[in-house]
């Protein structure tokens, strides 16, 4: 008797596992959860932002409301425009690196990394193994710090502040690692063309292992707090459904796309750095709502811990910067000892790398989504045109499609769930 | 000195001492709110002013008084100025009818009878509900007069929320009223004489929980703080207020917290009575104070732990869960009481 019950239980469990909604089902569900109101005469227009507690910077959304339901959204970006792409045209490739980590200042490593990958592809520079591993590791550390920050702020946007500070407490451990490694907590400018700026400091390995050993425990604690929280489920389940076809239409990438059931991850699909040499799973969920975006990011943080541990285990010896005098800076410690290195340093700092004509596009999986860099060179040390296609820009433009028909409170939750940083969006 | 004269003197003393005491409790409640918020979040909270940061609220008050009083140019100025008072005064009035010790009986102070209540009013419970409904006018008018869409939305939310939750609150309090056979808070406490298992929280557990949840909504605290939902409406009805006008809303909120804690402990936790009869030698006001402290802690605990509901979810909880529960509770109570008698 109990045997049949067990089998029934197993069957039910298997059904639950395979309950992946099809695209039609998701479309239908999306249609059901959005409120389709005919615009009446009584439309209240609210200007949300640029100064608003939960606009994650200076995003401005002009909302047309019918009661609490959003009829239309007109997003407005550009309040943080700094002309980074134009600035890049007047700087050598080395000087562009500090500009890039001010794009998405939450995950500076990834931005540096993306630009350097593109520049290296253009110049044909081979990064030594140690440099690749350090880059992979820092990239994943910054993914963790980005996702923890995202978690704290997005839960705060649902109305609790306690969780926010708890997340910041744990992000601090990762930031301490950054400080140890680069001296800076946010804008690191750590990657260099051909590798990274510095070798791992003494004791970094031990400290990093301690952090990644204890972070999964903290993640479990977070999940205990909110994963089964009834109010969180009510606020997040079936809210802001954005199917994979919507994602493709609006070029929404990263965790939002993976929460819609598409296992698209550049680390696997177009591997770079040391990603082909480490093992990890791509986090995928299938319901395409706010809750699944949360699940995807939680899973990604765990995978990141796994990748970092593998990088530390496999960390190869040798140089961390390419010995390529024409394109990369010398190792700083050699500059005052070795005349060749000193000449290289002068040459690279004053003249810059000599880059062939041509253009290149390279993208990396930044924590928020795909971060692409296009460089066109007409020879010389400065690029003729640099174009960043940063995830937040696309996520920011998809906001009307994401929130129309939802309620004001949901708009905040959805906007938080796609993870937009305005430095990244406005550039 | 004749007894009426003595009663008048007592009344004046009580009417002065009680509000002062409540204001002191409120000042420290604000401080503890911050301290607890800090502890829940793994921070330290205020530390600078006074020992352990305990004088923080007084610093706040001085800061608020010294701030510029900004009134939006296109606001409805008389209403804008009046709204904080409408929010502030009713919550203080409720205090008059809450007993904080034994009322009536023989002479207990210098040969005179000292009643531990400011006004022995027969319909104290109704006064509480009425004043709660009055106080929301402050919020709604403040939101309306600010000439800001955020404020307006906040005010409307507060109004709708109050209507939905006041009902559940009234029905669940009616259960207690039936048990005590009176609407006077003094009689309700007298009905709970004995040990803590004689209090109304056991027979009225459903009503008590409904009342508690509804009171969170009445207090505008998370998860029902939709009127001033910071992440959505900036600060709701408070968006355009600054300086001491804002301070009055804030202060009223905490006075309301203390008053509602007093009401909850009066209705369900035996008011000023000791949990065990052997502990009766400790005076009633101290027991009431301890119960208030406990309830305030619970309110803070809830506030700093959970997430806010969405507007339509709040409404459906109010109308589809709390109201039916409280009506069912009232019906069952009525049936059981008539069966027993």
Concatenate the DSSP letters of all residues of B193-243 into one string: -SSGGGSTTTTTHHHHHHHHHHHHHHHT-TTS-GGG-HHHHTTGGGTT--H
Q: How far is CA A56 from each of CA A288, A336, B227, rounded to the nearest angstrom?
A: 22, 45, 22
Residues in B touching A226 (Cβ below 8 Å): 307
Mean pLDDT taken over chain B: 83
More confident: A347 or B231: A347
Is residue B171 pLDDT above 80, yes or no? yes
Q: Are B323 and B200 in contact (CB under 8 A)?
A: no
Q: How far is CA B337 from each of CA A305, B126, B211, rounded to the nearest angstrom?
A: 62, 21, 20
Q: B128, exposed or middle or buried, with CB in 10 Å at 0-12, 13-18, 19+?
A: buried
Q: A338, exposed or middle or buried, with CB in 10 Å at 0-12, 13-18, 19+?
A: middle
DSSP A306-371: HHHHHHHHH---S-SB---TTTSPPPHHHHTT-HHHHHHHHIIIII---EEEEEEEEEEEETTEEE
For residue B338, the Cα-to-chain-centroid distance in whole angstroms is: 32
What are B205-217's pLDDT values in tens digits? 888 888 988 888 8
**Tokens coding B337:** 């009481």
Q: Tokens 């929980």 sit at which residue?
A: B209
Neighbours of A400 (CB within 10 A): 15
Whether A159 and B37 lie within 8 Å, measured CB to CB? no
Q: Tokens 């070029």 sit at which residue?
A: A251
Q: For the whole model, what pTM was predicted? A: 0.84
Residues in B touching A169 (Cβ below 8 Å): 42
What is the distance in angstroms between the Cα of B156 and the nearest Cα belonging to chain A?
10
Over range A216-221, report the average pLDDT: 88
**What does residue A229 show for φ and ψ, rounded to 5 degrees?**
-65, 125
What are A343-369's pLDDT values in tens digits? 888 888 888 888 888 899 988 888 888
More confident: A17 or A275: A275
**Tokens coding B251:** 């202060």
What is the distance in angstroms between the Cα of B129 and the nearest Cα belonging to chain A?
28
Over range B118-134, report the average pLDDT: 82
Q: Tokens 């997430």 sit at which residue?
A: B307
Residues in B touching A53 (Cβ below 8 Å): 230-231, 234
Q: Are B65 and B244 in contact (CB under 8 A)?
A: yes
**What does residue A71 show for φ and ψ, rounded to 5 degrees?**
-90, -45
Give the residue among A415, A304, A286 at the shortest CA–CA distance from A365: A304
What are A387-423's pLDDT values in tens digits? 988 888 888 888 888 888 888 888 888 888 888 888 8
What are A132-177's pLDDT values in tens digits? 899 899 989 989 999 999 988 888 888 777 888 888 888 889 899 8
Interface check B304 vs A, CB under 8 A: yes
Is residue A2 pLDDT above 50, yes or no? no
Between positions 202 and 231 of A, the ones with CB within 8 A of B are 226, 229, 231
Whether B307 and A52 lie within 8 Å, measured CB to CB? no
Between positions 336 and 355 of A, the ones with CB within 8 A of B are none
**What does residue B244 show for φ and ψ, rounded to 5 degrees?**
-75, -25
Contacts of A397 (CB under 8 A, 6+ apart): A75, A77, A250
d(C-alpha A193, C-alpha A112), whole Å: 10
d(C-alpha A39, C-alpha A45), whole Å: 13
For residue A254, being part of any structural domain is answered with yes
**Tokens coding B51:** 């020992």
What are B140-167's pLDDT values in tens digits? 888 888 888 888 888 888 888 888 888 8
DSSP B98-152: ---S--SSS--BTTB---SSS---TTHHHHHHHHHHHHHHHHHHHHHHTT-HHHH
d(C-alpha B121, C-alpha B109), whole Å: 22
Of B43, B150, B231, the CB nearest to A165: B43
Interface check A45 vs B, CB under 8 A: yes
Q: Are B281 and B201 in contact (CB under 8 A)?
A: no
Angle between helical axes of B124-145 and B149-180 (0-180°, round to 10): 180
Position A374 confidence tier, pLDDT thresholds 50, 70, 90:
very high
d(C-alpha B233, C-alpha A68), whole Å: 11
Whether A159 and B229 lie within 8 Å, measured CB to CB? yes
Q: How far is CA A370 from each of CA A266, A390, A395, rounded to the nearest angstrom?
A: 8, 7, 11
Tell me what percent of the residues of chain B surpass a pLDDT of 70: 97
Residue range(s) defining the domain that contains residue A148: 84-426
Q: Could you report how far apart the first and last alpha carbons of chain B are, in Å?
A: 45
Region for residue A280 given its phi and psi (left: phi exceeds 0; alpha: psi -120 to 50; beta: otherwise): beta
Tell me what percent of the residues of chain A surpass a pLDDT of 90: 2
d(C-alpha B315, C-alpha A410), whole Å: 15
What is the distance in angstroms between the Cα of B74 and the nearest Cα belonging to chain A?
17
Residues in A touching B40 (Cβ below 8 Å): 162
Residues in B touching A155 (Cβ below 8 Å): 307
Position A1 confidence tier, pLDDT thresholds 50, 70, 90:
very low
Q: Please, where are the H alpha helices in A34-92?
A: 84-88
Interface check A155 vs B, CB under 8 A: yes
**Tokens coding A381:** 């040390």
**Residue in chain B nearest A66 by alpha carbon:** B153
d(C-alpha A63, C-alpha A68), whole Å: 10
Q: What is the ipTM of this complex?
A: 0.78
Number of A–B residue contacts, CB under 8 Å: 85
The b/e string for B53-67 (b: 16+ C-beta within 10 A; e otherwise) is bbbbbeebbeebeee
The CATH number linked to A301 is 1.10.645.10
Is residue A181 pLDDT above 50, yes or no? yes
Whether B309 and A234 lie within 8 Å, measured CB to CB? yes
Q: How many domains does chain A have?
A: 1
């Amino acid at each position: 008797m109990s045997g049949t019950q067990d089998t029934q239980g197993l069957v039910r469990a298997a059904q639950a596992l395979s309950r992946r909604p099809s695209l039609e089902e998701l479309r239908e569900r999306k249609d059901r959860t959005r409120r389709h109101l005919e615009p009446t005469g009584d439309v209240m227009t609210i200007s949300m932002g640029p100064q608003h507690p939960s606009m994650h910077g200076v995003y401005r959304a002009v909302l047309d409301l019918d009661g609490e339901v959003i009829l239309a959204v007109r997003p407005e970006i550009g309040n943080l425009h700094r002309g980074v792409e134009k600035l890049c045209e007047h700087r050598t490739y080395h000087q562009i690196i500090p500009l890039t980590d001010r794009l998405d200042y939450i995950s500076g490593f990834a931005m540096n990394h993306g630009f350097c990958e593109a520049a290296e592809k253009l110049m044909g520079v081979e990064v030594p193994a140690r440099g690749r591993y350090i880059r992979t590791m820092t990239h994943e550390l910054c993914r963790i710090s980005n996702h923890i920050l995202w978690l704290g702020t997005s839960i705060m946007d649902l109305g609790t502040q306690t969780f926010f500070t708890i997340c910041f407490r744990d992000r601090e451990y990762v930031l301490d690692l950054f400080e140890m490694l680069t001296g800076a907590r946010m804008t690191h400018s750590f990657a260099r063309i051909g590798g990274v700026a510095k070798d791992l400091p003494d004791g970094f390995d031990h400290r990093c292992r301690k952090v990644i050993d204890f972070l999964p425990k903290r993640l479990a604690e977070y999940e205990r707090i909110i994963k089964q929280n009834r109010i969180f489920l009510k606020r997040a389940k079936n809210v802001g459904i954005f199917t994979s076809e919507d994602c493709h239409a609006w070029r929404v990438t990263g965790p939002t796309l993976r929460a819609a059931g598409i296992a698209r991850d550049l680390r696997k699909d177009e591997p770079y750095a040391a990603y082909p040499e480490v093992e990890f799973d791509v986090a995928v969920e299938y319901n395409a709502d706010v809750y699944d975006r949360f699940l995807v990011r939680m899973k990604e943080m765990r995978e990141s811990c796994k990748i970092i541990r593998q990088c530390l285990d496999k960390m190869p010896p040798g140089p961390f910067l390419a010995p390529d005098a024409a394109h990369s800076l010398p190792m700083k410690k050699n500059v005052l000892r070795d005349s060749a290195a000193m000449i290289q340093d002068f040459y690279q700092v004053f003249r810059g790398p000599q880059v062939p004509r041509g253009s290149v596009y390279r993208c990396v999986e930044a924590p928020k989504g795909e971060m692409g860099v296009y460089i066109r060179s007409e020879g010389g040390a400065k690029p003729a045109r640099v174009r960043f296609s940063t995830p937040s820009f696309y996520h920011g433009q998809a906001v009307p499609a994401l929130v129309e028909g939802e309620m004001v409170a949901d708009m905040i939750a959805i906007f938080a769930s796609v993870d937009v940083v305005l430095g990244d969006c406005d550039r | 000195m004749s007894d009426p004269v003595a009663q008048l003197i007592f009344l004046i003393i009580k009417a002065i001492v009680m509000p002062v005491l409540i204001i002191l409790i409120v000042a420290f409640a604000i401080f503890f709110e911050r301290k607890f918020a800090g502890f829940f979040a793994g921070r330290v909270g205020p530390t600078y002013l006074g020992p352990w940061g305990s004088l923080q609220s007084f610093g706040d008050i001085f800061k608020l008084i010294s701030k510029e009083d900004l009134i939006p140019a296109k606001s409805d100025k008389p209403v804008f100025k009046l709204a904080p008072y409408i929010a502030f005064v009713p919550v203080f009035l409720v205090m008059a009818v809450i007993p904080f010790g034994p009322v009536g009986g023989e002479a207990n102070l210098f040969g005179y009878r000292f009643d531990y209540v400011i006004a022995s009013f027969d319909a104290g419970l109704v006064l509480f509900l009425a004043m709660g409904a009055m106080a929301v006018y402050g919020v709604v008018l403040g939101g309306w007069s600010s000439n800001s869409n955020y404020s307006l939305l906040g005010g409307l939310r507060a109004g709708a929320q109050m209507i939905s939750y006041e009902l559940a609150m009234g029905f669940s309090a009616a259960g207690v009223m039936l048990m005590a056979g009176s609407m006077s808070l003094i009689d309700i406490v007298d009905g709970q004489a004995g040990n803590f298992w004689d209090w109304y929280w056991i027979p009225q557990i459903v009503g008590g929980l409904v009342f508690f949840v509804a009171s969170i909504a009445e207090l505008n605290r998370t998860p029902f703080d939709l009127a001033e939902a910071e992440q959505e409406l900036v600060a709701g009805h408070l968006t355009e207020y600054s300086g001491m006008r804002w301070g009055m809303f804030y202060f009223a909120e905490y006075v309301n917290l203390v008053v509602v804690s007093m009401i909850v402990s009066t209705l369900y936790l035996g008011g000023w009575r000791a949990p065990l009869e052997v502990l009766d030698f400790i005076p009633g006001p101290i027991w009431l104070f301890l119960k208030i402290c406990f309830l305030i802690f619970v309110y803070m605990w809830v506030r700093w732990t959970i997430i806010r509901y969405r507007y339509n979810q709040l409404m459906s909880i109010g109308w589809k869960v709390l109201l039916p529960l409280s009506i069912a509770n009232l019906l069952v109570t009525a049936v059981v009481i008539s069966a027993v008698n």
